[in-house]
Chain A
């Protein structure tokens, strides 16, 4: 019985981690380029910056949130991991049909640090304790959608090359810090971040394989 309970707990815990990773998938993107110099993701805040931004929240509250916004809808471009790869390590070219399904979506993703929490479920994703409603700017005019798109083409792959479907994207980032008070006592504090994917660009690209 104990084993079953422990097993169930492990399944429950691992399912939480899986859901968590869907909440901030954008952290796996690379080569971020922000529109303005000095802009950065929450994960790159230093301890000094956290302290500096916490200090900007100088007023207490009987109950609820006090927030500081460091970046508001900052435009950013990025490169996602490649979606599809065909490798030809042989000595003659190969021709084959490439079929892939892309996940087309425009969605909002979240990240938190410190003692702030996220709720992640199939239908509801966001910050705990209504933090997003307290942020004094709008990031709501986006339709969330996720849909499969099929593409089929005959492709040609030279020896020692690989063919990839590369995905680049544009998004908007907002981040800052927040403190939560109960009876004037600061019980939670940390960083918050909202990442909105606005556009993605697909390309089919041939690349040389590095010879070892």
Chain B
């Protein structure tokens, strides 16, 4: 009888032990950010932008809109805080393997929480701050954030060709220069002065802003287009102004290369401003953020730049 009780007890303990083995560990949440340069022109009230992360759990409240009390973009030392509204939070279909662990792509579709017709946000180091109903807060570094509100209508210049040249840095394709055809649709001559890119750390090299007559191929090197021996992407000459005449009812094709003066040395999509003079003085045309290069922000060549956050249970 005794032995039966002992055996029963042992069997019971064995069952508990085995079932404990099969209970999965509640692993900590990991969030991977791949910092990049955001350069966005908001041309309509409906326009939203997206911020993506890789996460190792797709069933946590951290990515459920209902559990989030507020979300904002914060500058490096929280001197400036821009409140955001969440349009949507969604997961991609596939998975990404990083350091032998499976990750899901999560996308926050966000909108700036206020309306204005002329305002610029330019944070060199930006954090996405997410506050939850349980008072928990996540602050995730996303890179450089530039956002301009502009719904001005320009009746002097229009565009009819717009393309980029690209080059590769450490296996990542990035824009090396912009080719654009501008048409003067006003009744006066205009003077093109400079191009200004919507970023603090990547700029146009206006020293080389010039008229060219053949559209360069996508992969043509900048030095071949400019007919120079070498082109240094790290030089800075943004303050230079040109005086390029764009006659009434005429068009002009221009090329301008880029300079990379910051830590993030790739940009795929950005807005820029063309500064020019008309008879009344200075004016400008802002070109919406065009997707010159479209690729994943999470790829092997960018893994060295990943920032990994581990959130304990």
Contact = CB atoms under 8 A, between A and B. Distances in A.
Interface of A: 93, 95, 102, 104-108, 123, 140-147, 149-158, 161, 163, 168, 170, 198-206
A206 B160 contact: yes
Contacts, number: 116
B7 to A, nearest CB: 42
Contact of B92 (A141, A145, A156, A158): A145
B305 to A, nearest CB: 15
Given A145-B92, A154-B154, A154-B159, A203 B164 contact: yes
A104 to B, nearest CB: 4
Interface stretch (B19-27, B116-124, B235-243, B292-300): B292-300
B24 to A, nearest CB: 22
A154 B183 CA distance: 11
A158 B181 CA distance: 12
A206 B180 CA distance: 11
Interface centre among A105, A150, A168 (most CB of B within 10 A): A150
8 contacts: A105-B294, A143-B105, A143-B298, A147-B107, A149-B294, A150-B47, A153-B290, A156-B159
B290 A204 contact: yes
B64 interface: no
A155 B160 contact: yes
B166 interface: yes
Contacts of B185: 95, 156
A107 B287 CA distance: 29
B44 interface: yes
A199 B47 CA distance: 24
Contacts of A104: 291, 294
Interface string B91-134: 01110110000000101000000000000000000000000000
B158 interface: yes
A134 B45 CA distance: 50
B160 A156 contact: yes
Given A142-B296, A143-B94, A145-B296, A156 B291 contact: no
Interface of B is mostly: strand
A199 B163 contact: no
A155 B159 contact: yes
B83 interface: no
Contacts of B47: 150
In the A-B complex, list the 9 residue pairs whose CB atoms are closest, starting with the nearest. A203-B163, A144-B94, A156-B158, A204-B162, A156-B183, A199-B295, A106-B296, A200-B294, A104-B294
Contact of B294 (A123, A155, A202): A202
B297 to A, nearest CB: 8
A141 B97 contact: yes
B159 A106 contact: no
Contact of A205 (B54, B94, B96, B163): B163
What bracket does the count of chain B residues touching chain A fall in?
35 or more
Contacts of B299: 141-143, 198
Contacts of B164: 201, 203
A202 B292 contact: yes
Contacts of B293: 199-202
B58 interface: no
Contacts of B154: 154
B43 interface: yes
B288 interface: yes
Give the most central of A142, A150, A201: most B CB within 10 Å: A201
A105 B296 CA distance: 8
Contacts of A107: 94
B96 A201 contact: no
Contacts of A154: 153-154, 158-159
A153 B287 contact: yes
A171 to B, nearest CB: 11
Contacts of A147: 50, 107
Nearest to B286: A153
B161 interface: yes
Given A104-B291, A147-B50, A154-B154, A142 B161 contact: no
A152 B163 contact: no
B159 A199 contact: no
A163 B163 CA distance: 13
A151 B97 contact: no
B291 A151 contact: yes
A157 B181 CA distance: 11
B218 interface: yes
Given A143-B296, A204-B163, 18 more contacts: A104-B291, A107-B94, A108-B94, A142-B299, A146-B92, A149-B291, A153-B162, A153-B288, A154-B154, A154-B158, A158-B160, A199-B294, A200-B294, A201-B292, A202-B291, A202-B294, A203-B162, A204-B160
